[in-house]
Amino acid sequence: MQIRQILFKSVCVFITLFSFQSIFSQSEKLKSAFTDTSIKVQGKLQAETGKYRYDYHDVYQSDSLAKDLQASGYHGGGPSWLGIIYGAFKVCENNLIDDLEMKVEVTGVTFWSKNKEDLEKIGRVVSIIKSDSASLQLAIDKASELDIMQ
């Protein structure tokens, strides 16, 4: 009986450590979007009077996740993407997202900033999320934990 308990505890510790390593690895992948300018910005970034504007409307993308998000019980459009993007920033313990003006629409989300580089970071985070399902899930989990995932 003792051996079974020790083996069970060892397996639990291993699974916990593996889970933490996986979460750490995914958060590092998301964090790379803040500094790695070789990551292509996904979404539309444009200059507007005195500031910059970033739009992301996943429902219009050829690789849209809207149906998958809806199948999981989420809105699938702008409200979901605000949660996902916000969750990704919070996973990385980055508060930049809190200082930006934003608007949620049915099909997407828009951010404004005087600093173009801030918006490029969002576009790179979206690119990582769109290319990596584990990063997407991590962002969704964080947004759900923060009660902003719709």
Interatomic CA distance for residues 122 and 117, integer angstroms:
9
pLDDT at 17 over 50: no
pTM of structure: 0.82
In 3D space, the residue among 94, 117, 112 whose CA is nearest the CA of residue 30 turns out to be 94
Q: Is residue 51, in this structure, part of any structural domain at all? A: yes
Q: How confident is the model at residue 55 (pLDDT cuts 50, 70, 90)?
A: very high
pLDDT of residue 14: 41
Q: Report residue 54 as tokens.
A: 């970033």
Q: Is residue 122, in this structure, part of any structural domain at all? A: yes
Contacts of 122 (CB under 8 A, 6+ apart): 43, 54, 56, 85, 97, 111
pLDDT of residue 27: 76
Q: Is residue 150, in this structure, part of any structural domain at all? A: no
Q: Is residue 39, in this structure, part of any structural domain at all? A: yes
Q: Is residue 73, in this structure, part of any structural domain at all? A: yes
Q: Is residue 24, in this structure, part of any structural domain at all? A: yes
pLDDT at 54 over 60: yes
pLDDT at 20 over 60: no
* Chain center to CA of 15: 24
* Chain center to CA of 99: 17
In 3D space, the residue among 144, 65, 62, 76 whose CA is nearest the CA of residue 106 turns out to be 76
Domains in the chain, number: 1
Round the average pLDDT of the chain to a whole number and report it: 86
- Tens digit of pLDDT for each residue in 57-113? 999 999 999 999 999 999 999 999 999 999 999 998 889 999 999 999 999 999 999
Q: Is residue 125, in this structure, part of any structural domain at all? A: yes
Domain that holds residue 122: 2-145
Q: Which of 23-27, 88-92, 121-125 has the lowest mean pLDDT?
A: 23-27
Q: Is residue 44, in this structure, part of any structural domain at all? A: yes
> By 3-state DSSP, what share of the chain in percent is helix, strand and coil, each rounded to 5?
60, 15, 25
pLDDT of residue 28: 84
DSSP annotation of 106 reads S
